[in-house]
Amino acid sequence: MEEAERFCARLDAAAETGRALSFWWRDDDATEPTPELDRLAGLFGELDEARRPPLGLAVIPDGARPALVDRLAREPHIAILQHGLAHRNHAQEGEKKSEFPLSRPLTNCLADVKTGRTRLLQLFDGRLLPVFVPPWNNVSRPVVEGLTALGIQGLSRFGATKGACGECNTHLDIIEWRHTRGFIGREAAYRLLTQEAERRLAGASEPIGVLTHHLAHDEACWAFSRELLTLLANHPGAAFPPLQELFALREPGCPTTHG
């Protein structure tokens, strides 16, 4: 049995229990309208409106252009997430790439987060969710602890959650960044999805996050994205809850529940 069949079998198992597995889709590094962004939006647009999943688009505030606002005005299923400030690496030698590493002064980090949030609020207003996506999926714990005071309720990184309030991560990155910078391969992608599905069937509750980068896709990435999106949107064993629900976002003015 190939990996795609194994994954579908796990979705079938979820459907049989009447408890669909939760998924969500995040795409990073948007700043302006591009043919690649049009292509990404088109993948979602191909689906029936009733089955069209939400898309969390991580926008880099420092590079965001008003033209992006106009382009996304006709894509109501796309929500804006904050992707750092400038996607600039401030890590020192020996640290993983990060715009907000532990070695950088906390006041500088939080000032950048605030500047980025203000920029996106000015551009997108109600389209912006109070969710922070750190570049390279890497951010120091003190910065995470300071997000709530800046009005940010959600956090999205890569891999298993690390216990932060409002954290909803991604688990499958379809690009192999270290060597080929191309598609990781269909078998490898479905193998990872199968593993994540098995964890959920065994009791893990966090949604399974798919991570894409529209500006870096090769043709194999695009083909797989269409295949996976179509499968998940139409299978009774898969569900795409609203992003507000996944990140446990509160309405403005509601009391905080963060500890």
pLDDT digits (tens, 9 = 90+) for 5-44: 999 999 999 999 999 999 999 999 999 999 999 999 999 9
Q: Is pLDDT at 212 greater than 60 in this prediction? A: yes
Backbone φ and ψ for 209, nearest 5 degrees, come out as -105, 135
β-pairing, 182-183 vs 175-176, is antiparallel
pTM, entire model: 0.94
Which has the closest alpha carbon to 101: 91, 116, 87, 93?
91
Confidence class for position 255, pLDDT limits 50, 70, 90: very low
Helix axes 35-45, 219-234, angle to 10 degrees: 20
Q: Is pLDDT at 55 greater than 60 in this prediction? A: yes
- The 8-class DSSP code of residue 130 comes to E
Q: Which CATH number fits domain 3-238: 3.30.70.1290, 3.40.50.2300, 3.40.640.10, 3.20.20.370?
A: 3.20.20.370
Give 73-97 pLDDT, tens digit per residue. Answer: 999 999 999 999 999 999 999 999 9
Give 149-198 pLDDT, tens digit per residue. Answer: 999 999 999 999 988 889 999 999 999 999 999 999 999 999 999 999 99
Mean pLDDT, to the nearest integer, of 205-221? 97
Query: What radius of gyration, in Å, describes the C-alpha atoms of the chain?
Result: 18
Strand partners, 27: 57, 212
Q: Three-state SS for 62? A: helix
Give 114-158 pLDDT, tens digit per residue. Answer: 999 999 999 998 889 999 999 999 999 999 999 999 999 999 999
C-alpha span between 41 and 218 (Å, rounded): 16
**Can you give the pLDDT at residue 133?**
98
- Mean pLDDT (the chain) is 94
